[in-house]
Structure 1
Amino acid sequence: MSRALVLLLAVACGVIVANTYYAQPLLPTIAADFQLPEGLAGLSTTVPQFGYAAGLVLLVPLGDLLANRALITVLLGINVLALAATALATGPGPLWAALAVVGMTGSTISVLISLAAALAGQHQRGRVVGALMTGLLLGVLLARTVSGALAQLAGWRSVYACAAVAVAGLAVALRLCLPNPPASPGTSYARLLTSTVGLVRTEPFLRRRMVSGALCFAAFHLFWTALPFLLSAPPHAYPTAVIGLFGLAGAAGALAAQPIGRLQDRGLARPATAALLLATGLAWALTGAGGHLLVALLAGILLLDVGVQGVHVLNQAAIYGYPASVRSRVTTAYMSAYFCGGTAGSGLAVPLYDRAGWLGVCAAGALLAVCAAALWLTDRVPGPTAVPTHHHTTTH
């Protein structure tokens, strides 16, 4: 793959994924605009995650069946319309409906990453996946900064209006620059979905990566969904724009994604995963003190993002060792579990913060890190091999 194409795909991942995260620093503003209690306002972050998970299950497997370039173009066109509807929403119901579609079509990212892994080949797969993940993670982290700043200048609706314009331009660029591998005929949509379930049932290596990713992403979303409520209240009492700037503290961690991806190619994934899980546990200890100590909070953000996203990069680079004919379905299985974990973390964050405060949030995050470490300690499953033939896209 050329560097220019890798860069375009990395930018695409960042731009598309940001749409799912813009709402996090906007929750207090959205709650005030629609006169919602804080608990209900939290649905503005949870609903897109549910939509993303649905897209992973229902749309991403189509990458093993349809021509990828056409599929990506159509999904991004729908994403543009949903973003425009979000900006024009007249109440919480229309807002959440539009955000659900934004999340669902945002799963296009997984089609892009799977396509990139197939184009890259085994010798550069870790590096290419790491590069795309760097773009994706920067999109996740900087989304908070961008949305906070735009909302401060022109209101929260301007965030989604600008996002619609950005995705429209991106769709045109991808249509012009992506190669167009042919479709893979020979199966029905229903059989495609069924074979995804079969892969999960028969592949223990895949199942363990699914659980590991879900635990880590639940911790990630638990933190970032609860954080705006901590920062907007005394003793911090920061405005929305300043809350969004906290995303910059984790941006440095995203830059580690490509070097971490190379570790998979060098056979160092297991010790690297141990170090990353240790960093995640330490992050929760620091953020627990960060309720009053800003330096500890910033250090905790950096470690949490490096740990969680590093584990994700290694998991993805590992599962793309499966044959290309099932790669979109493997992606569906892993990413569905991953984002279901994130959705659970988002849904738990606000009620947990209401009932147990910031220390309760940190205790729950630490427990998730311990569970992920226990899974690593008991992992003796060999890596991916050739899958049974009935999982391939065939006519019989």
Structure 2
Amino acid sequence: MGAIAGAVATNIYCTQPILPLIETGLGVDLAAVDLVAGAALLGFASGLALLLPLGDRVDRRKLVLAQVTLAFLAALCATFSPSIWPLIASSFALGVVSCVPQQLVPFAASMSLPSERGRSVGTVVSGIMIGILLGRTISGIVGAYFGWRAVYGLQAVAMVPVWFISASLLPRGVPTTNLSYGRLLASLWPLARDNRPIRESMIVQALLWACFNAFWVNLAALLASGPWHLGSGWAGAFGIIGAAGAAAASFAGRGADRHGPRWVVGISILVVTVSYVILGGAASSMTLLILGVIVLDIGVQAGLVSNQTRAFAVDHTAQGRINSLYMTAIFLGGAVGVIISGWLMSHYGWKGIVVFGIVLGLTACLYHWQGDPRDQKARAGELEAQRK
């Protein structure tokens, strides 16, 4: 599941290192080309909202196979897009059907004992994060040598073995509800309204994911315009550096099983905020840039697993719907982070990105630690359930 999830996750992030190549190839400005990356995230958020709830109703294996097939077609459309707007539309469509990784996370959680749920979620999320980061590396190198269209073509080709592996190895999913599709969607709001742990997880990780994407979507522009004048291949190579932090997802899952996920979330917020303090010097120091990348990825990945584990603990029969709420919120946050950071980079340069990241981190910290006396009993029960 981790390997399949990682392969499909590259569909969303392969665009980021090659944005300057698209800008040059299609003759558009930076603000317009950032919409390609933003459309992928908005599409992904739409898929999470509309497709993930189906995982509670039908066989998740069938959902995965159908989505991989459509991802192949969307990547082909992106490959042959004649101008920026068809590319944006193709990017949005590719994002919608590439929510396969988040079909697999609740799949793994539902197959695990409560005492091992964090570890299982961490394993699949590690695969996702490695896919995201190495996908950037591969796309940057391929784009540098063969052009941006070759990147989308490679994504389409990659979906073929992914389909056959999924068909051969994934177990059949067992539906946990017989609610109609309309009632599944209608049940999302009460889940979020009535469960504070789900709401907290959604909001905090949305802020952290905005930090994550604000950095990565502007990295290529920083390297191209900074003192180094490096191309997309170098921007993609930073994915290897970031992948060093992917192990944090697995360790965060184990920490959530042992200490409770909310404790790990607090540490994650602190780490992400500190990473942007380090990145304040990234415009002039390669050492600080590399260190900031590692710290940022560790914090965001640890937060992703611990927040997700916390949300899943609320109701084991609604894993797909909980994940739909959770992932929709964080990818909306990521899309907003991409769009705002693109404007900030155009007007204020790297300093604007750094200030944006620190403000987001402090906002997440304030929200997380504000507390709610009415929720103390629920938090104690949650921790006890995780220990059991």
Q: TM-score range by the shorter chain?
A: over 0.9
1:336 to partner: Cα distance: 0.7
- Amino acid paired to 1:304: L
Post-superposition Cα deviations, 1:266-299, rounded to whole Å, max 9, x if no partner, equal 1243443333222212111111111101101111
1:28 aligns with 2:25: no
Partner Cα separation in structure 2 for residue 269 and residue 123 of structure 1:
12
Report the equivalent of 2:94. Answer: 102
Q: Quick one: structure 1 residues 270 and 61, their matched pair in 2 at CA, closer, same or farther if it must change by over 3 Å?
A: closer
1:290 aligns with 2:293: no
Contact between 2:198 and 2:310, CA under 8 Å: does it hold in 1? no
1:130 aligns with 2:144: no
Contact between 1:62 and 1:328, CA under 8 Å: does it hold in 2? yes
Partner Cα separation in structure 2 for residue 274 and residue 191 of structure 1:
35
2:159 to 163, 167, 190: 167
Partner Cα separation in structure 1 for residue 281 and residue 345 of structure 2:
15
Report the equivalent of 1:52. Answer: 44
Considering only aligned residues, what root-mean-square deviation do their CA atoms show, in Å? 1.6
Partner Cα separation in structure 2 for residue 51 and residue 38 of structure 1:
20
Contact between 2:55 and 2:320, CA under 8 Å: does it hold in 1? yes
Between 1:64-73 and 1:173-182, the stretch displaced more is 173-182
Partner Cα separation in structure 2 for residue 166 and residue 121 of structure 1:
33
1:121 to partner: Cα distance: 2.3
- Amino acid paired to 1:255: A
Between 1:311-320 and 1:183-192, the stretch displaced more is 183-192
1:281 to 273, 277, 298: 273
Partner Cα separation in structure 1 for residue 327 and residue 241 of structure 2:
25
1:31 to partner: Cα distance: 0.8
Unaligned runs of 5+ in 2: 383-388
Contact between 1:279 and 1:304, CA under 8 Å: does it hold in 2? yes
Q: Quick one: structure 1 residues 383 and 18, their matched pair in 2 at CA, closer, same or farther if it must change by over 3 Å?
A: farther
Between 1:344-353 and 1:374-383, the stretch displaced more is 374-383
1:120 to 94, 98, 112: 112
1:185 to partner: Cα distance: 5.8
1:206 aligns with 2:211: no
1:325 to partner: Cα distance: 1.9
SS of corresponding position for 1:317? helix
2:30 to 3, 17, 38: 38
1:222 aligns with 2:219: no
Partner Cα separation in structure 1 for residue 228 and residue 63 of structure 2:
45
TM-score, normalised to structure 1's length?
0.92
1:125 to partner: Cα distance: 1.2
Contact between 1:214 and 1:339, CA under 8 Å: does it hold in 2? yes
1:34 to partner: Cα distance: 0.8
Partner Cα separation in structure 2 for residue 234 and residue 115 of structure 1:
43
1:93 to partner: Cα distance: 1.9
Partner Cα separation in structure 2 for residue 189 and residue 14 of structure 1:
28
Report the equivalent of 1:266. Answer: 258
Contact between 2:59 and 2:175, CA under 8 Å: does it hold in 1? yes
Partner Cα separation in structure 2 for residue 138 and residue 208 of structure 1:
26
SS of corresponding position for 1:19? helix
What is the aligned residue count? 378
Contact between 1:321 and 1:384, CA under 8 Å: does it hold in 2? no
Q: Quick one: structure 1 residues 192 and 384, their matched pair in 2 at CA, closer, same or farther if it must change by over 3 Å?
A: farther
Report the equivalent of 2:291. Answer: 299
SS of corresponding position for 1:120? coil
Report the equivalent of 1:351. Answer: 343
- Segments of 4+ in structure 1 off by > 4 A? 383-386
Q: Quick one: structure 1 residues 384 and 84, their matched pair in 2 at CA, closer, same or farther if it must change by over 3 Å?
A: farther
Post-superposition Cα deviations, 1:230-253, rounded to whole Å, max 9, x if no partner, equal 110131200111121112221111
1:74 to 50, 66, 87: 66
Partner Cα separation in structure 2 for residue 181 and residue 143 of structure 1:
28
Pairing 1:175-194 to 2, within 5 Å after superposition: 175-184=167-176, 186-194=178-186
Report the equivalent of 1:315. Answer: 307
Percent identity over the alignment is 30
Q: Quick one: structure 1 residues 198 and 35, their matched pair in 2 at CA, closer, same or farther if it must change by over 3 Å?
A: same
